[in-house]
Structure 1
Amino acid sequence: MGDPGLYTPRSVTWQLHGDPMMWVAGVRALYLQALLPRAVRGVLQNSDFRRDAWGRLGRTADFVGVTTYGTTRAAERAGARVRGIHRRLTATDPATGERYGVGEPGLLLWVHCAEADSYLRVLRRSGYPLTDAQADRYIAERRVSARLVGLDPEQVPASRAELAAYFAEMRPHLTAGPEAREIDDFLRRPPVPPLLVPARDLLWWRVAALAYAALPPYAHDLYGRPAPDPAAVTRRLRATGTVLRRIPPHLRWQRPPKHILRAVSRLGPAACPAPHKVPRGPWAGPCRAL
């Protein structure tokens, strides 16, 4: 057997992150992350997001892929690279002129929790079979990724209840400022070559609209658009999940699931993620290097 990495196939994360609905969940996370002004400024003031948004999205997906399915060395190197970037970058509050580091623990924690919440909620609502205990286990496992980006795992929510309490604490600090509006505009109408505009309007619009619809009601209020009926959103998520999961894995496991293919090649066919392999029982620390 090769190196199973930091999560290992015995984790909920290993199985969950192989699902194609992760793409919708990732877009939902972007919508949610943009509602914390200090966090979204760090992105827009320190990257070429406006010109290379697709590249940035791809790099984020690659980070999730390599930290979930890569070797221990590859995951640790990816984390060290992210921490190094965070240490070098600052952002400026346009209202006060304050400069602050983009690696502030509070900002990193918001990004982490928005991702974990989005991955879990979108996949469960789309029909991915997880019990409440398995959902709690997933949130606890995600502290591995929190450590990689520079957070103290002990300060990161480790259950659905702790995650809900964190979001309740953060709500007064959230707003759809100009930076969030810019992210919203991009996600609704991303720039593409003229020949790809029809495909964008047909396919990407549906992904972005579904991700936006899956946001919590307070996020809809902040963005200023009416919240859709939750039951209707769940039906759409389930229908989309059903269609995507019927696509043969070798056709949909290209990016970021290229990391899955490498893991299966390294560890053998039994490492291939699938819902029926989600571990049962309470979390007992299957992940390494927490």
Structure 2
Amino acid sequence: MSDAGLFGPDSVTWRVHREPIVTVGGLRSLYLQALHPRAVAGVEQNSRYRQDPWGRLRRTSDYVTTVIYGTTEQAEKAGRRVRAVHGRMTATDPRTGELFRVDEPELLRWVHVTEVESFLDAALRGGLRLSPAEIDGYFAEQTRAAALVGLDPATVPATASEIESYYEEMRPSLELTVDSAATGLFLTLPPLPYGLGLTPVRGLSFSVSALAIGLLPPWARRLYGLPGLAATGLVASANARVLGTLLRQIPLEWIESPARKDAMRRLAEARAAEAPAGLEA
């Protein structure tokens, strides 16, 4: 059988990331990540995302899809590149003046958890149906992705209840800093390429950002100074369900990533190679 990578077609991970709405989940995770003072300081002091936001988005998307759909070798190679880059980076905590490494386990764990929890949250609220066991299975599978960035999988929350407990544990250390507010504003109103900011695309972009904010946990919205009402989450869930339904009407081959296309090609070739032996049996 061809190398299906870290997860494979029978994994919950492939089911979740087949949902186009996970892109909104990715944006939701960035709003969450910005609430960790050191995590957002590390980005602000080391990244050029303000000068090239869409290039940064493309590179992040390429990394995620490579980890999910690439071969084991491709995923591990991508992980080595990320570890090498993070290993060279330091930042200064603006609150204390302390110098810290951006690859500290606490920071890597925060980024990982907010990312995978946000992907799953968007997929579920967009209409994907998973049992509690399958939800836990997704988080358990994603510890393999956590290992790629340098985390010990044993230290990564691997069930829905562990994720919930982790958020409760982290909340006292989260706050809205100057960097957090600036990042949140940038995410909500990013510069659009090719002059699209002067077209209706601006309204569409803002609607996606508003949906991502609405999907945040109530406590996260309150940290941003926004209403943490339960009704906000209900409205966001309804909008996500509509958007998820609409996106599923788009033929997958029109929007699927190159990594997924290559994975499907490898699997098809492997099945074709196995077919004669099966027929002879």
Q: Same fold (TM over 0.5)?
A: yes
Q: CA deviation at 1:270?
A: 10
Structure 1 residues 159-168 or 93-102, which shifts more?
93-102
For the Cα contact (< 8 Å) 2:2–2:270, is it kept in 1?
no
Taking structure 1 as the reference length, what is the TM-score of the superposition? 0.89
1:269–1:160 Cα change, 3 Å: farther
> Could you say which residue in structure 2 is the equivalent of 1:121?
121
> 1:219 and 1:39 mapped to 2: Cα distance?
15
1:54-133 equivalence runs, <5 A: 54-133=54-133
> Could you say which residue in structure 1 is the equivalent of 2:216?
215
> Could you say which residue in structure 2 is the equivalent of 1:47?
47
> 1:122 and 1:162 mapped to 2: Cα distance?
19
Structure 1 residues 9-18 or 161-170, which shifts more?
9-18
Query: Which one of the candidate residues 234, 237, 243 is aligned to 1:234?
Result: 237
> Could you say which residue in structure 2 is the equivalent of 1:288?
none
Give the SS at the match of 1:100: strand
> 1:37 and 1:95 mapped to 2: Cα distance?
8
For the Cα contact (< 8 Å) 2:192–2:202, is it kept in 1?
no
Q: CA RMSD in A?
A: 1.5
> Could you say which residue in structure 2 is the equivalent of 1:28?
28
> 1:266 and 1:155 mapped to 2: Cα distance?
33
1:198-277 equivalence runs, <5 A: 198-227=199-228, 229=231, 230-253=233-256, 257-268=257-268
Q: Which runs of 5+ in 1 are unaligned?
A: 272-290
Bigger helix share:
2
Give CA deviations for 1:93-117 in whole Å, capped at 9, x if unaligned.
Answer: 1232211000000000000000111
> Could you say which residue in structure 2 is the equivalent of 1:281?
none
Give the SS at the match of 1:50: coil
Larger Rg: 2
For the Cα contact (< 8 Å) 2:40–2:179, is it kept in 1?
yes
> Could you say which residue in structure 1 is the equivalent of 2:12?
12
> 1:146 and 1:5 mapped to 2: Cα distance?
15
Paired residues in the alignment total 268
Q: Match of 1:247, as an amino acid?
A: I
Q: Which runs of 5+ in 2 are unaligned?
A: 272-281
Taking structure 2 as the reference length, what is the TM-score of the superposition? 0.92
> 2:247 and 2:143 mapped to 1: Cα distance?
28
For the Cα contact (< 8 Å) 2:21–2:247, is it kept in 1?
yes
Give CA deviations for 1:170-201 in whole Å, capped at 9, x if unaligned.
Answer: 00001111111111111111112462012432
Q: Match of 1:221, as an amino acid?
A: R
Give the SS at the match of 1:176: coil
